[in-house]
Amino acid sequence: MKPETTPSQDAVSVWDLHKTVSLAQAWRDWSGFVLLHPGEHSRQPLPFVPTHDMALSAWLKSGYDETSPVHPLGCHFVADGLITGQGYAFSKGRLLQQDAYLSRVARDELGAKPDFTPAGSSHRASRVIEAPVLEIVGPGSPVFGHWIVDFLPRAAIARDLLGPAFAQMRIALADHVPRWAEQLLEFHLQIPAEQILRYDMHRETLLCRRLCVPTFGHSGSGYFFHSFVREFYARPRGMRPADRSRRLCISRRNFEDRTRGVLKRLDGRGHLEAAAVRLGFEVVCPEEHSVAEQYALFAQAGAIVGEFGSGLHNSLFSAPGIVVGSVGCINSIQHRVAALMSQTVLYVIPEALGRGDDGAQLFRIASDRIEALLAQVVSLHDQSVLQ
């Protein structure tokens, strides 16, 4: 199954570059695609559960129930590849494209701001890397949610495919990538700091004699996940308890005035958190915990509520059967995560109020709608605990 991509004149689909070869041949010639897992169809979600006042249930349900073919997983081997900016990868001057949302974002960004194309980067120093380099990041690399849905699975695909040779790889990270990204790589993949290759994206480009480009763990703009991602996050670490009794309310209070992602502000957040506490939820700011603590926290959760975003995507660390309540539905990622993990997700859509003076997206949600969502999540959680 060859995924469909729409490369432009200055871009090329990785699937058009290579034929499938063995790992031994790819490592010798540094060319070709090596298969880790064949393509499959994305997992069917659990039955859609409408919330009590969801006027948009029909629209949400049509997208919620969707499934899609998912491309094969593996790694593309590219000789003399170029990395610019926040992780744009090129072969012979053409941007490498995959069937994934962030790959399309990269193409659009370079079309609007060609400063990080090979021609636009000619004023930057070219740093030659002889060691094999792994390219796993790109647009969104300072954002936690993209790390857990996009970048960590790519690193896991390469690790599983390369086996012992993975220890030779250098992982290219631009200097703007937060240090917690290295902690994620160390915790989930045991990648030591010595394997990280930092570079100044404004001053240099990386000419990689041997560049390894893993596929994404999902296909298309809709984030249809391969089952490998579920297996990766469910690998036992002796941390997951048998019960799912904890209820978590994820707070974005630390990101209402500053964020590496989209600035959002919800009028009603305080009521959401206070009402959740009355129903036995713990209000949690994930960023205030270590990577290991975050994993353990979500692994113990049976119910999670909060504003749509990276914090809720942590349900990838949770067990099948949990209930997630989301205030907002900006895109399909949360219900694709729910489908992958066999979790139930409920939505309420807040009223959009435009933008504030600082450019923040402003939203408002009435207290009765918050309380209805929480009551429904608690009811479903209580039923799941009894089963």
How high is the pLDDT of residue 159? 98
Q: Does the pTM exceed 0.85?
A: yes
Return the pLDDT at 178.
95
Kindly state the helix (H) or strand (E) to which residue 33 belongs, with its residue range: strand 32-37
Nearest Cα to Cα of residue 278 among 373, 368, 364, 371: 371
- Alpha-helical (H) ranges within the chain are 14-17, 23-29, 57-64, 101-112, 144-146, 152-162, 180-189, 227-233, 269-278, 291-299, 310-313, 333-341, 367-386
Give the model's pLDDT for residue 259.
63
Check residue 359 and give left, alpha or beta (phi > 0: left; psi -120 to 50: alpha).
left
Computed from CA positions of residues 304, 310, 314, 316, in that sequence, does the dihedral angle turn out positive or negative?
positive
pLDDT along the chain (387 residues), means of 10: 54 90 98 97 88 61 84 97 97 95 94 91 94 97 95 98 98 96 96 97 97 96 94 69 81 74 78 94 94 91 91 92 88 91 90 80 86 94 77
Q: Residue 307 and residue 268: Cα distance in Å, rounded? A: 11
Residue 151 has φ and ψ, to the nearest 5°, of -85, -45
138/87 Cα distance (integer angstroms):
4
d(CA 138, CA 170): 16
Task: Provide φ and ψ at 134, rounded to 5°.
Answer: -105, 125
- If you search the block for the tokens 């993209």, which residue do you land on? 146
Place of tokens 């129930």: 65
Quote the pLDDT of residue 325.
94
